[in-house]
Structure formats: C-alpha cells, structure tokens
Amino acid sequence: DGGDVPADADSNSGADDTAPAEEGEVKDTESSAEGAKNDTILGGKSTPNVPDAYDFKSIVPEGMTYDEQSAAAFGDVAKKAGLSQEQATMVASYGMQYMQQVVDAATKAVQDTQAEWAQEARDTLGGQFDAVVAKAAAGRDALAAKVPGLTQMLNETGAGNRVEMIRLMAAVGELIGEDGGLRSAQAGAEKSIYPNTDFKRYS
C-alpha cells in the first residue's frame, strides 16, 4: 500500500497546524494580562489617562521656585509608569513633603547645636559671662565697622555662640578704651599700635 501515509507524517502535520494557533493564544494572554494590570475587582476595566505633559505647579509651596527641569524629569518617569495627572501629583506631593521633613530635621539639628554652644559658653564663662559678652560686643562692633556683614555671619553660622569667638571678640574689646582710644600693651603708653586708625569712631 503505497497510498498509506506514515504515522510520523500525520504527527508532524498536526503539530504544524496547531502551532500558529498556540502562538496566537499566548499573545492574547499576554495582552490580556497587560491590560489587567490597572484593573481592580470593583473598578472593572480601566482606561489609562496619561497626559502628554504633567503640571505640578499647584503643589509647589509658596516662596519656592518651580523647577521646570526636575518637573519634566519626573513627568517622564510618571508617563512610563502610566500615571494620570492626579496620580502623578499625589506622588510628587508626597515626595515634596518628605523632602521638606528632611530639610526641617536638618535645620533643627543645626539650631540645636547652636543652642548647645550658647549654653556651653554660659557654663564656661560662669559669673563673668555678662562682663565678657559686653567686651565682646564692643570688639564685634569695632570690627563690624571695618568688615561689613560680620554680625550677619556670626548669626547665620552660629559662631556668635561659640565661647572661643566670644573670647576672641572680648580680647579685641579689651584693646578699646572707654574713651575710644586703643589700650597699649604697656599701661600708660601713649603710642598706638594702629597710628592711622581713629578708634573714636567706634565709641
């Protein structure tokens, strides 16, 4: 019987016939799974509402500059994640709140440290605190007349609370007499070590 078809031929033929159908089923399954990612039990089928561009200006705190470059970079991430404007805004808002908490914590840490310096200065100087600070203030004022921004620097950096800085300024204040003249290293000496400086301006 030359008309008989070999069993192997029948088997291969059947496999070839079903292969395309199986591939199609796999693609359909993957597509369904991809579409179901955003589905919920109660919400049912969802349709992505991804904007062409995101706008986060509404969540920027007053006084803070809106960073277009950072907003665009986050917008790219949000678009890849398939986030709507509302979803992206919620995520961005949380991120800004977290960042603000970090900044507030860092600021508080600096303020606490400066407060510790002030307490250390009071403890170290003890009963002489007021007198030393008075001399330091005189020295500070004398230098501030020549160095604009000195007082601001002492406040911004907290250096004005350091006992070392207080003593340094007090030493400068010691050089300034009550009459505005400069005290000599030797009592009673009339010659100034700064002959060209009019210290009366600082009285």
For the whole prediction, is pTM greater than 0.75?
no
Asked if residue 160 belongs to a domain, the reply is yes
Q: Are 43 and 120 found together in one domain? A: no
Predicted pLDDT of residue 60: 87
Q: How far, in Å, CA of 91 to CA of 27, rounded?
A: 33
Q: Locate the DSSP E strands across 38-197.
A: none
Which residue positions in the chain have pLDDT lower than 70?
1-39, 43-48, 177-203
Q: Do residues 182 and 199 make contact, with C-beta atoms less than 8 angstroms apart? A: yes
Q: How far, in Å, CA of 133 to CA of 118, rounded?
A: 12
| Range 137-142, long-range pairs (CB < 8 A, 24+ positions) | 137/169, 137/173, 138/172, 138/173, 138/176, 138/202, 139/168, 139/169, 139/170, 139/171, 139/172, 139/173, 139/174, 139/175, 139/176, 140/169, 140/172, 140/173, 141/202, 142/172, 142/173, 142/176, 142/199, 142/202
Predicted pLDDT of residue 116: 97
Q: Are 113 and 41 found together in one domain? A: no
Q: What single DSSP character describes residue 59?
A: G
Q: Are 43 and 112 found together in one domain? A: no
* Chain centroid offset of residue 58 CA: 20
Predicted pLDDT of residue 192: 45
Asked if residue 112 belongs to a domain, the reply is yes
Q: Do residues 153 and 159 make contact, with C-beta atoms less than 8 angstroms apart? A: yes
How many independent structural domains does the chain possess?
2
Q: Are 112 and 198 found together in one domain? A: yes
Q: Are 40 and 121 found together in one domain? A: no
Full residue range of the structural domain in which residue 180 is found: 108-202
Q: Do residues 150 and 169 make contact, with C-beta atoms less than 8 angstroms apart? A: no
Q: Are 117 and 187 found together in one domain? A: yes
Asked if residue 183 belongs to a domain, the reply is yes
Q: Are 122 and 43 found together in one domain? A: no
Predicted pLDDT of residue 44: 64
Predicted pLDDT of residue 4: 55
Q: Are 126 and 40 found together in one domain? A: no
Asked if residue 58 belongs to a domain, the reply is no
Asked if residue 64 belongs to a domain, the reply is no
